């Protein structure tokens, strides 16, 4: 099986998706930012000096998903019809859980858009809290599920 992103001369190339069908494509990714429990408490109470941490992270995730083809080499620009961002908190563990869901009608999937959204939301959270907690860790960034396209469905754990 040949490499899909390398031509016969060994040069990088973008895969031609023009023959693929336009179908509904969806993906969800998640990640965590682990911090001191007192830092998470400051986020919940909106006491971080830079402002509303989760609102900033939400906008960062949406912007990042939209900019994925500018950030990931050889990624196709696709029309995103939805990007949604959800946050969960584990107060005892000092953890913010980020989930980004992306949807499109396109010839290629939105997995990288969802993952890029999680990564940049995580980076935004770290940037907002670093003045009080430089020890925070970004971890467990992963694809949770995807639907659509030739490869079908994927769900982590199934």
**Diameter of the chain measured on Cα atoms:** 57
Rounded to whole angstroms, the Cα distance separating 132 from 146 reads 36
The position carrying tokens 């992306």 is 102
Kindly state the tokens that stand for 34: 């682990």
Both tokens of residue 27? 């993906």
**28: β partners:** 101, 145
90 counts as catalytic: no
Which one of the listed residues 8, 52, 127, 140 is annotated catalytic?
Answer: 127
158: which 2 tokens? 């199934």
Cα–Cα distances (Å) from 13 to 74, 78, 144, 151, in that order, read 7, 17, 28, 21
Indicate which residues carry an active-site annotation. Answer: 127
């Amino acid at each position: 099986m040949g490499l899909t992103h390398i031509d016969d001369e060994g040069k990088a190339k973008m895969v031609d998706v023009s023959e693929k069908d336009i179908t509904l494509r969806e993906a969800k990714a998640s990640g965590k930012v682990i911090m001191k429990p007192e830092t998470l408490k400051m986020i919940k109470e909106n006491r971080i000096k830079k402002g509303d941490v989760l609102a900033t992270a939400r906008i960062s995730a949406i912007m990042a998903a939209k900019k994925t083809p500018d950030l990931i080499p050889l990624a196709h620009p696709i029309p995103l019809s939805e990007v949604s961002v959800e946050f969960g908190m584990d107060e005892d563990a000092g953890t913010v859980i980020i989930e980004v869901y992306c949807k499109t009608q396109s010839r290629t999937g939105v997995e990288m858009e969802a993952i890029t959204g999680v990564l940049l939301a995580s980076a935004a959270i770290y940037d907002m809290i670093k003045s009080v907690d430089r020890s925070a860790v970004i971890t467990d960034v992963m694809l949770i599920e995807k639907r659509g396209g030739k490869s079908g469905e994927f769900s982590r754990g199934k």
